[in-house]
């Protein structure tokens, strides 16, 4: 059986790292690595100069640029990309620095742009910390050229991190922890949405949610706090009226002003990625599981009809199967028993998912051939941990 690339790494936390480097007066780059992502945070004498990396830095930079009222940035950035030297360490910062030197904006706006950019990066890192262990490496003297830094744009971490942390806490409290702001909402059932909302609300939603703008983009466009926007959309997402899309990075880091490209994953998957299948009649569970899989670079197969489960499993050849206990027609015990009767699926680990815990259900699941039993609601850390354990056996 294929082994997933999900090995653990030594880690502390983003908050501890920022506090330590600020206290040390660190100059250089803090490199943060996840399984499928990497971020760079640049310091000068313990203060933040810039941050980049993660999913779609180009989209982020354009979004932050527009957030602070700089409307001509798209043309300027395109022109700068054609002229820039290959030796530039961070293209966006160099563009930002060049525009500042040309007096495109004042000192107040310089610090605002640095702060907003770093807050978005910090939010993404905090969310990733909830999915997996991250590794941190401080690299002195490998950051931005100190002679070209915008000294007026340097910020202490304590001026930036608390706001990002509070936004992440609010995102969690709103029940959005399994959703990435980089995902794109699209209206899947317009008639049902119209029935559930007032004419005014329906008009606003259909104009804003065009299937091309991410949640980050919508929050900036509507001038709403990110978590409030997500919380307002969550009931419709849970009912499948609004669906969240994730597509390939080749289409995902383009300009978000006119025709905004779809958001996806920045890392190129391996030729044979680790694959999980989820058999569940809930589309919301599938959305959650797909997001977890995507975050760590796994392939995902959704199966809603339990009767068709075995043929789809034979076709997709998953490395791990998550199976809902309560489903119409055939329940989880029955499907698990069917899986165990198929020779090529006998050795594939099966995890039963259910909101009905207890010793009896656990025992029945084991007798049916399940390898583990996991209670709902599902948590990313639990899914990743159980995959680590089962694939290493």
pLDDT in tens, 289-310: 888 888 788 889 999 988 889 9
**What integer pLDDT is reported at residue 258 of this predicted model?**
32
74: pLDDT strictly greater than 70: no
Q: Which residue has the higher pLDDT, 186 or 92?
A: 186
Q: List strand residue ranges (DSSP E) for 233-341, in order.
A: 242-245, 247-248, 264-265, 275-279, 299-303, 320-324
Q: What is the pLDDT of residues 308-329, one digit of tens each?
A: 899 999 989 999 999 988 888 7
Q: What is the pLDDT of residues 118-161, one digit of tens each?
A: 999 999 999 988 877 788 999 997 878 777 788 888 999 999 99
* Burial class of residue 74, CB neighbours in 10 A (0-12, 13-18, 19+): middle
368: pLDDT strictly greater than 80: no
Domain at 275-391: CATH code: 3.40.50.2300
d(CA 102, CA 108): 15
**What integer pLDDT is reported at residue 358 of this predicted model?**
56
Q: Which residue has the higher pLDDT, 364 or 322?
A: 322
**What integer pLDDT is reported at residue 107 of this predicted model?**
81
181: pLDDT strictly greater than 70: yes
Strand order in the sheet with 135-140: 47-53, 38-44, 28-33, 135-140
16: pLDDT strictly greater than 50: yes
Residue 83 — very low, low, confident or very high, per pLDDT cuts 50/70/90? very low
The answer to whether 42 touches 48, Cβ cutoff 8 Å, is: yes
Range(s) within the chain of domains with CATH label 3.40.50.2300: 275-391
Residue 45 — very low, low, confident or very high, per pLDDT cuts 50/70/90? very high
73: pLDDT strictly greater than 70: no
| Buried/exposed code over 333-347 (b: 16+ C-beta within 10 A; e: otherwise) | bebbebbbeeeebee
**What integer pLDDT is reported at residue 72 of this predicted model?**
55
**What integer pLDDT is reported at residue 170 of this predicted model?**
95
Return the bridge partners of 41, or none: 30, 51
Q: Which residue has the higher pLDDT, 176 or 80?
A: 176
**What integer pLDDT is reported at residue 152 of this predicted model?**
82
Residue 7 — very low, low, confident or very high, per pLDDT cuts 50/70/90? very low
Q: What is the pLDDT of residues 210-234, one digit of tens each?
A: 888 899 999 988 888 999 999 999 9
Across 276-294, average pLDDT: 88
Residue 84 — very low, low, confident or very high, per pLDDT cuts 50/70/90? very low
pTM, to two decimals: 0.68
**What integer pLDDT is reported at residue 41 of this predicted model?**
95
Residue 70 — very low, low, confident or very high, per pLDDT cuts 50/70/90? low
d(CA 298, CA 325): 23
d(CA 164, CA 118): 9
**What integer pLDDT is reported at residue 215 of this predicted model?**
93
d(CA 190, CA 43): 47
4: pLDDT strictly greater than 80: no
Structure tokens at 68: 């602070």
283: pLDDT strictly greater than 90: no
Q: Which residue has the higher pLDDT, 162 or 264?
A: 162
d(CA 187, CA 199): 16
**What integer pLDDT is reported at residue 388 of this predicted model?**
78
199: pLDDT strictly greater than 60: yes
User: First and final CA of the chain: distance in angstroms?
Assistant: 10
Where is average pLDDT lowest: 22-36, 62-76, 232-246? 62-76
257: pLDDT strictly greater than 70: no
């Amino acid at each position: 059986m294929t082994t997933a690339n999900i090995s653990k790494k030594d880690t502390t936390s983003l908050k501890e790292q920022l506090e330590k480097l600020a206290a040390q007066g660190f100059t250089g780059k803090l490199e943060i690595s996840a399984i499928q992502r990497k971020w760079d945070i640049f310091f000068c004498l313990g203060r933040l100069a810039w941050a980049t990396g993660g999913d779609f830095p180009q989209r982020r930079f354009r979004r932050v640029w527009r957030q602070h009222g700089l409307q001509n940035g798209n043309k300027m950035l395109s022109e700068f990309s054609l002229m820039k030297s290959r030796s530039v360490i961070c293209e966006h910062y160099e563009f930002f620095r060049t525009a500042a030197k040309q007096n495109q904006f004042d000192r107040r706006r310089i610090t605002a742009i640095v702060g907003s950019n770093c807050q978005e990066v910090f939010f993404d890192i905090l969310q990733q910390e909830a999915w997996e262990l991250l590794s941190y490496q401080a690299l002195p003297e490998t950051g931005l050229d100190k002679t070209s830094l915008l000294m007026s744009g340097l910020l202490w971490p304590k001026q930036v991190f608390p706001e990002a942390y509070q936004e992440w806490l609010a995102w969690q409290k709103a029940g959005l922890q399994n959703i990435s702001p980089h995902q794109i909402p699209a209206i899947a059932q317009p008639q049902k949405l119209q029935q559930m909302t007032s004419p005014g609300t329906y008009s606003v939603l259909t104009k804003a949610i065009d299937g091309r703008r991410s949640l980050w983009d919508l929050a900036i466009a509507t001038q709403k706090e990110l978590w409030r926007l997500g919380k307002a959309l969550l009931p419709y997402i849970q009912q499948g009226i609004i669906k969240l899309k994730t597509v390939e990075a080749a289409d995902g880091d383009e300009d978000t002003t006119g025709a905004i490209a779809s958001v996806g994953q920045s890392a190129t998957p391996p030729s044979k990625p680790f694959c999980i299948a989820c058999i569940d009649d809930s589309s919301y569970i599938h959305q959650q599981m797909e997001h977890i899989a995507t975050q760590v670079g796994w392939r995902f197969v959704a199966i809603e009809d339990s009767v068709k489960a075995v043929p789809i499993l034979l076709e997709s050849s998953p490395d791990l199967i998550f199976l809902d206990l309560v489903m119409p027609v055939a329940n989880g015990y029955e499907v698990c028993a069917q899986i165990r009767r198929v020779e090529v699926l006998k050795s594939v680990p099966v995890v039963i998912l259910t909101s009905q815990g207890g010793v009896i259900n656990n025992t029945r699941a084991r007798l049916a051939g399940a390898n583990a039993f996991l209670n709902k609601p599902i948590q990313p850390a639990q899914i990743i941990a159980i995959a680590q354990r089962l694939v290493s056996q």
